[in-house]
Structure 1
Amino acid sequence: MSSHKPDYDHLLRTNIERVFGERDAAKRDKVIAEIYTAEPVLLEPTDIVQGRDNISKTVDKLLEQFGPDFAFMPVGQANGHHGLAHLAWHAGPKNGPVVVTGVDVAEIVDGRIARLWVLLDPPV
């Protein structure tokens, strides 16, 4: 086992800001290649998405569904150890109210995201 501790905050924050926040697919795909393993899995409440390309397509659909002013924002810092990390986030129109909150939980393998669970908070 490597003694190198991954930068959990960087990985999960980059995922929120530059994957789920990136509308340009080519830019997003480059970041996905940097921070995800070769065969990552995204586990959403209603779907399981396998592979980098399919994750990018899922983000495309999500951003298209919510419109051009919708943004995901990290809340606080990611915390993790022994290959498991989490980061809270909220989302909504850039200058509007928060419409959804949640937590990303990631399994980190060799410094990259191998599996990412998107956990949505219940509506208030």
Structure 2
Amino acid sequence: MSGSDLRNINDVENYDALLRANLQRVFNERDAQKRIAAVQELFADTPTMYEPTGIVTGRAAISEVAGALLDQFGSDFAFVPEGPAVGHHGLGYLRWHAGPSAGPVVVSGVDVAEIKAGKIVRLWVLLDAPQG
């Protein structure tokens, strides 16, 4: 397969832009109205998010979970992408870490998303094992 063939496969969906937007505009957004607007733009009509503690279905529920996480960890807490998101054939992932801006990292992991027609259909939030 040539380099141009690889670019054509990867250009079908912009995995990096979509998954970074999800991290920044959904999971780092403290304004509930802006967050739900981003969820409506980035997610399919009836998305499902799989977290370690449960399964969340629907745009409103995903927005509420993101808001609750931000409330739980405080105003200085943020998710930070690590490198570009990659993917092909409708499956992409983005590695990230999170914590207060002055450190330390509280949690790290990866978002894995099924993407169709430029929208997140299903999102798995996979947490790394605690260090130490």
TM-score band w.r.t. shorter chain: over 0.9
Match of 2:31 in 1: 24
**What SS does the aligned partner of 2:18 have?**
helix
Task: Describe how 1:61-100 pairs up with structure 2 within 5 A.
Answer: 61-100=68-107
CA RMSD in angstroms, aligned pairs only: 1.0
- Give, in angstroms, the shift of residue 96 of structure 1: 1.7
**1:1-124 superposed matches below 5 A:** 5-124=12-131
Runs of 4+ displaced beyond 4 Å: none
Displacement of 1:97 in angstroms is 1.1
Q: Which whole-Å CA distance do the structure 1 matches of 2:119 and 2:45 have between them? A: 9
Structure 2: segments with no counterpart, 5+ residues:
1-8
TM-score (norm 1): 0.95
Q: How far apart are residue 83 of structure 1 and its match? A: 0.1
Is the deviation greater in 59-68 or in 75-84?
A: 59-68
TM-score normalised by the chain length of structure 2? 0.90
Q: Which structure shows the higher helix fraction?
A: 2
Say which one has the larger Rg: 2
Count of equivalent residues = 122
